[in-house]
Amino acid sequence: MSTSKPNRQFFSRLQAKLLVIVVPIFLLISAASVTIFELSAFVDNKVKLQDKLEHVTQTFRYVVSEPLWNVDIERLNSILEAIAIDPDFVSATVYDDDHIIFAKITKYNEYALSTLSSRQPITLASATDQKDVIIGELLITFSDRRLLTTTYQRIGRASALALVFVIVLTGTSLIIHQRLIGTPLQLMLDIIQSPSDKTYGLRVEWSSNDEIGEVATAFNRMLNTNERIKDELEVRVENRTRHLGEQITKRKHIEFKLKGSIKQAEAANRAKSEFLANMSHELRTPMNAIIGFSSSIQEETFGPLENKKYKEYIDDIHASGIHLLDLINDILDLSKVESSALDLFIEPIDIDAVTKTVLRLTRPHAQQKNITLESQMNGLAQKFCGDKRRIKQILLNLLSNAIKFTNPGGSVKLDGSVTQDKSLILIVSDTGIGMDADELEIAVTPFGQVDSSLTRKYDGTGLGLPLTKALVELHGGHMNIDSLKGYGTTINIRFPPGRVVKDQA
């Protein structure tokens, strides 16, 4: 027992088991080594065969010299037949001094894979000066077939023997592998592939003093840990599910309230827009009367005003009436846009004439503030499909804003052009006070005022830019604003292709 225990300990190690699997690989390497050795021996034997051929050729070139000189063909053939006795012989040829075949003998060898040749001169001693005279040439050819056959046979025997060892050792290693490694792995695989509800409490029944035994023990510990974690997760999932259910109920209740609030806000907004749209006549009629009567009083149509204070008051009344009417018009237009009640009257219009009209209307205000008003219109002789009144309103709003927020001595410019894809570009730029990013965001908001200092210094309702943007978008266009505080603002309007048409006139 004491003598077998070390053996059992050795063979119980995983390294020994893996060694059984690796043995066939070493046998294959051994077979390859034998093959390489035999091929090396073949190369050496071929070298020896070449030396043998050189020696035979060297020997027989002296033997055939005399019969060649005496033109003794029968004796030459006898000598060549003697050379042909060699088992590696293929052919022998004797040439005269004109390199013409004098005698030849061939031993046909159809199995020869390759041949070796040796060519040496045939000489004869001169009777006068004792020097050798070349009278011909001897060519002898040998085959390496016999060497190849022997080499193939030895390699075949070695390979067959290696194959037998590989088969036996592979079978043995497979049996050992299945017993020592495959069985415990299969037990673990069965547990892994089983449904989770049927593996509860299952363990790998395997005990050994090697790495496989350690893996089985660790696998059982992992199952214990997984079952404990699974129980904890089930409790946590149950609690979480209950908590999520409560949150979903609360969110649905909040969502229901938000939907109600949104509907109320939408209804209020529609009511506001409808109210403002319907009040257009009621609001404008008295304002038109106030503006008309104040204008008559200003012009002293029915008689002079005796008191100068009345003259100042009526001027303020007239200016305030016009300002209030503009405010009412902007509010009504914006409310119509928000309620989708503003319809455009699309017709081919002369955009060049419209820009000239707008410039003529805004130029007095610019001159009053000593502001340079410039314009450069390129390619605007074509017609533009749009609402003439709204296009004029867009340009008036932008130019009025530019002049209003530009200090005396500054400049305002209106540029226009038509691109190659028939898009109309209108650009209004100024050297005014400009805006930063936060102020720009406020400026495009309805009733937005940049800050309190501006509201005191500059009048306005904060509806110019939002209304202008809405009118541009109703035409399918896009308005982009670039502004730098202290340096000015540039507003770029781009109408989509297709609105510029050729002038039929």
Query: pLDDT by residue (tens digit) across 377-401?
Result: 876 667 888 888 888 889 988 998 8
| Ranges 10-14, 406-410, 464-468: which has the least confidence | 10-14
Domain, as residue range, for 361:
343-501
Residues for the chain: how many in total? 505
298 in any annotated domain: yes
- Please indicate whether residue 260 or residue 448 has the higher confidence score (pLDDT): 260
Q: What is the pLDDT of residue 455?
A: 44
490 close to 484: Cβ distance less than 8 angstroms: no
Q: 86-112 pLDDT, tens per residue?
A: 888 888 899 988 888 888 888 865 455
pLDDT of residue 163: 74
**Same domain for 357 and 312:** no
- Boundary (domain end) residue, out of 140, 167, 194: 167
Q: Is 366 found in the same domain as 324?
A: no
Q: Indicate whether 92 and 131 sit together in one domain.
A: yes
DSSP string, 293-352: HHHHHHTTTTS--S-HHHHHHHHHHHHHHHHHHHHHHHHHHHHHHHTT------EEEEHH
How far from chain centre, in Å, is Cα 423? 34
Higher pLDDT, 83 or 163: 83
Cα three-residue angle 476-448-272, rounded to 5 degrees: 75
Q: Are residues 390 and 319 in the same domain?
A: no
Report CA torsion sign: 225, 228, 229, 230.
Answer: positive
- The more confident residue out of 151 and 334 is 151
CA distance 233 to 501: 71
For residue 460, being part of any structural domain is answered with: yes
User: C-alpha 227: how far from its chain's center?
Assistant: 43
Residues 309 and 447 in one domain: no
Residue 90 to residue 101: CA distance in whole angstroms = 17
Q: In which band, very low, low, confident or very high, does the pLDDT at 3 lie, cut at 50, 70 and 90?
A: very low
Average pLDDT over every residue of 264-288: 71
Q: What's the structural domain count of the chain?
A: 3
pLDDT tens-digit readout, 186-243: 777 777 777 766 666 777 777 777 777 777 778 778 878 887 888 888 888 888 888 8
* Same-domain check for residues 163 and 310: no
Shared domain for 39 and 92, answered yes or no, is yes
Identify whether 391 is part of a domain.
yes
CA–CA distance, 57 with 137 (Å, rounded to integer): 10
- What pLDDT does 263 receive? 84
**What letter represents residue 260's amino acid?**
G
Q: Are residues 23 and 158 in the same domain?
A: yes
pLDDT the model gives residue 482: 92
Q: 405: domain CATH number?
A: 3.30.565.10
> Is 358 inside a domain boundary?
yes
If asked whether residues 21 and 119 sit together in one domain, one would say yes
Average pLDDT of every residue of the chain: 79
**Of 295, 318, 337, which one is at a domain's C-terminal end?**
337
Judgement on whether residues 348 and 321 belong to the same structural domain of the protein: no
User: Does 294 fall in a domain?
Assistant: yes
**Are residue 374 and residue 322 in the same domain, yes or no?**
no
Higher pLDDT, 480 or 16: 480
pLDDT digits (tens, 9 = 90+) for 49-81: 889 889 988 888 888 888 888 888 888 888 888
Residue 29 lies in a domain: yes
In a domain, 472, yes or no: yes
pLDDT confidence of residue 5: 40
Alpha carbon separation from 60 to 68, 120, 135, 140, 306 (Å, rounded)? 12, 10, 14, 10, 160
Please say which residue of 271, 304, 337 terminates a domain: 337
Is 405 found in the same domain as 322?
no
User: What confidence score (pLDDT) does residue 454 get?
Assistant: 47
Residue 184: inside a domain: no
- The whole-angstrom separation of Cα 349 and Cα 344 is 13
